[in-house]
Amino acid sequence: MLNLDAPSVLSVTQLSRYLKELLETDDILQDIWVRGEISGCRVYPSGHCYFTLKDAEAQLPCVFFKYARMRSAAPELRDGMAVAANGRISLYERDGKLQLYVDSIEPLGEGVLFLRFEQLKARLAAEGLFDVERKRPLPVFPSVIGIVTSPQAAALRDMLRVLRARDPLVQVVFSPTLVQGAEAPAAIADALDLLNEYGDVDVVIVGRGGGSIEELWAFNEEVVARAIARSRIPVISGVGHETDFTIADFVADHRASTPTAAATAAVPDLAAWFADVQTHREALTVLMEDFIVGLADELARTSRDLQRQNPQYQLDRLHQQLDDTTALLQTRLQHILSLRGERLHGVALRLHSLSPLQTIARGYAVVRRDTDAVVVTHTQQVQAGDTITIQVTDGHIYARVR
Amino acid sequence: METLTFEEAFAQLEAAVAALQDGQMPLEQALHHYEEGMKLAQYCNDLLQKAELRVQQLRVNEEGVPVVIPFEADQG
């Protein structure tokens, strides 16, 4: 039975005080150098600086008061810096928090975590895990989207909001996991493997919202990188903010800068496709109209051709031809006849001028001997005593040669 | 047509438009492409109007097989 009044039952204050005493009387702890990596560094308006010194397996809260900062030649502190800090260990009773009260800081060059990051990155790159050829194209019209993230995170709600707006036709399969802490890397890998085992997924988003380097650190672990590399389903990484690059980002088939960017990349914007459907609808109407107009034209053309083949039309055409030909014929005939007439007239005239009667009219006479009626043209043709007949214009004269 | 995905219906709609652009076909066929195309366009529109994002969660059941269950949104 617990006796609350026994001296061994301490109040929290008493215990805290005891611990504080213990720490503050330890010479080693009152002037100690600790090396580690700075993370979660915050400077308050008061000028006091609070940060955590960490390494792979442990961390130590530190406070660097303004007066100490002013006094020391401390460099600008940033997360990820490897440093050695000098100071004293004590207990901040109010918070029950073990702290290093820092007097001075020495920068140490590359942080251990950063080194591990670089080494893992180099090793996986050498294996070809980051090769562009390995990266699979994302499906244009996925039906099922897998999501690996924390169920509590705002990141999940943000992703669902984006998916709902862009492509409500998809189905989402959510595989919950831790996204920070020591168990996170294995949990992320398991959640991704589970999705692959379930199988019926077209693309998967692996990610979480923004945070400090160690909050995102799980996505730099080899376990996660291997799980992404062996994933049969294409992986989109969406970790932290635009400037955060994790190993998961390098291995993934597609890196998105944030979880919402990952959701945007995963699905098409159906609004755009919707507009295309409208365009196609209008195109169909226009094309159909053109088609019908085309047919109407063809019909008219065929109709005209048909008309031309019509026998009545042929007949009319032939009649016309006949008339034309007849007229032509008549014209030619007239022409020929008139030519003939002219020639006849001409011949008649010549004949007339050559006529002996005309010659006789001019005074010449035609003499014939009566014996044989031969025309006399020479004197030897007659002798004295022969009888001749002389033809003149208006009759004959009978005469005897002397 | 009810079993077509949006992607399939859209592809068929595009094919109908392409066919009509060809122009050298009997009227019967042209009308068929037109009517089919208009039906597909309506189907795509309806799909989008009625769509609602379906979210399910992955769990491992008693046999160790991953199955989907209704999504329990955590109140973060």
Considering the domain architecture, whether residues A246 and A121 belong to the same structural domain is answered as yes
Percent of chain A at pLDDT exceeding 90:
54
Question: Is residue A18 situated within a structural domain?
Answer: yes
Structure-block tokens of residue A148 = 């690996």
Q: Please write the tens of the pLDDT for every residue from A67-122.
A: 998 888 777 788 888 899 999 999 999 999 999 999 999 877 655 677 778 889 99
Q: What is the pLDDT of residue B76?
A: 35
pLDDT band for position A228 (50/70/90)? Answer: very high
Calpha distance B71→A151 (Å, rounded): 10
Asked if residue A280 and residue A264 are part of one domain, the reply reads no
Considering CB atoms only, which of A171, A197, A294 is closest to B66?
A197
Sequence-distant (≥ 6) Cβ neighbours of residue A335 within 8 angstroms: none
CA distance A355 to A43: 154
One domain, residues A121 and A180: yes
DSSP-assigned beta bridge partners for residue A87? A32, A102
DSSP 8-state class, residue A137: P
pLDDT of A182 > 90? The answer is no
Contact B37 A284 (CB under 8 A): yes
Mean pLDDT across chain A: 89
Residue A109, pLDDT score: 61
In a domain, A339, yes or no: no
What are the residues whose beta carbons fall under 8 Å from the beta carbon of A265, sequence distance 6 or more?
A138, A236, A254, A256
pLDDT of residue A303: 86
Q: What is the pLDDT of residue A198?
A: 93
pLDDT at A12 over 70: yes
- As given in the structure block, the two tokens for residue A389 are 């007949």
One domain, residues A275 and A264: no
The C-alpha of B40 sits at a distance from chain A's nearest C-alpha, in angstroms, of 9
For residues A32-45, give the mean pLDDT.
Answer: 92
Inter-CA distances, A171 with A56, A198, A241, A260, A399, Å: 39, 14, 26, 17, 154
For A161, the closest chain B residue by CA position comes to B53
Give pLDDT, residue B75: 42
Q: Are A225 and A236 within one domain?
A: yes
Q: Give the residue-averaged pLDDT of A194-199.
A: 93
User: Looking at residue A107, what is its pLDDT?
Assistant: 78
- 3-class state of residue A248 by DSSP: helix
Is residue A357 pLDDT above 90, yes or no?
no
Residue in B with minimal Cα distance to A164: B53
Which pLDDT does position A48 carry in this prediction? 93
Contact present, A255 and A235 (Cβ < 8 Å): no
Which of A153, A163, A287 is opposite residue B20, by nearest beta carbon? A287
Given the cut 0.95, state whether the ipTM is greater than it: no
Taking the Cβ of residue A187 and every Cβ of chain B, the question of whether any pair is shorter than 8 Å is answered with: no
Same domain for A88 and A125, yes or no, is no
Q: pLDDT digit string (tens) for B34-49?
A: 999 999 999 988 888 8
User: Which one-letter amino acid corresponds to residue A286?
Assistant: V
pLDDT(B28) > 90: no
pLDDT of A226 strictly over 60: yes
- Confidence tier at A237 by pLDDT (50, 70, 90): very high
Same domain, A255 and A288: no
Q: What angle do CA A142, A145, A150 make, to 5 degrees?
A: 165
**A243 and A153 within one domain:** yes
Per-residue pLDDT at B74: 56
- Chain A environment of B52 (Cβ under 8 Å): 168
Beta bridge partners of A266: none
Q: What range defines the domain where residue A100 resides?
A: 12-109
Phi, psi at residue A307, to the nearest 5°? -55, -45
Q: Do B48 and A174 touch (CB under 8 A)?
A: no
Q: Are A297 and B27 in contact (CB under 8 A)?
A: no
**Average pLDDT of the residues in A243-255:** 92
CATH number at residue A78: 2.40.50.140
Same domain, A263 and A123: yes
Taking alpha carbons only, the member of A197, A257, A256 closest to residue A227 is A197
From edge to edge, which strands make up the β-sheet containing B66-70?
A254-256, A235-239, A203-208, A144-149, A171-176, B54-60, B66-70
User: Which of chain A's residues have a Cβ under 8 Å away from the Cβ of B74?
Assistant: 151-152
In the predicted structure, residue A244 carries a pLDDT above the cut 90: no
For residue A349, what pLDDT band results from cuts at 50, 70 and 90?
confident
Confidence of residue A146 (pLDDT cuts 50, 70, 90): very high
Q: A149, A282, A287: best mutation site toward chain B, by most B Cβ within 10 Å?
A: A287
How many CB atoms neighbour CB A5 within 10 A? 6
Q: Is residue A392 scored above 80 in pLDDT?
A: yes
Same domain, A122 and A264: yes
Q: What is the CATH number of the domain that holds A196?
A: 3.40.50.2300
Residue type, A288: M
Q: Are B55 and A174 in contact (CB under 8 A)?
A: yes
Q: Is A151 on the interface with B (CB under 8 A)?
A: yes
Q: How many domains does chain A fold into? A: 4
pLDDT of residue A391: 87
pLDDT in tens, A287-333: 888 888 888 888 889 888 887 777 787 788 888 888 888 888 888 88
Q: How far is B73 from chain A (nearest CA, A)?
A: 7
Chain B contacts in chain A segment 322-361 (CB below 8 A): none
Nearest to B13 by CA among B37, B35, B49: B37
Predicted confidence at residue A400, as pLDDT, reads: 92
CB contact under 8 A, A198 and B71: no
Is A168's CB within 8 Å of B51's CB? yes
- Statement: residue A348 has pLDDT above 60: yes
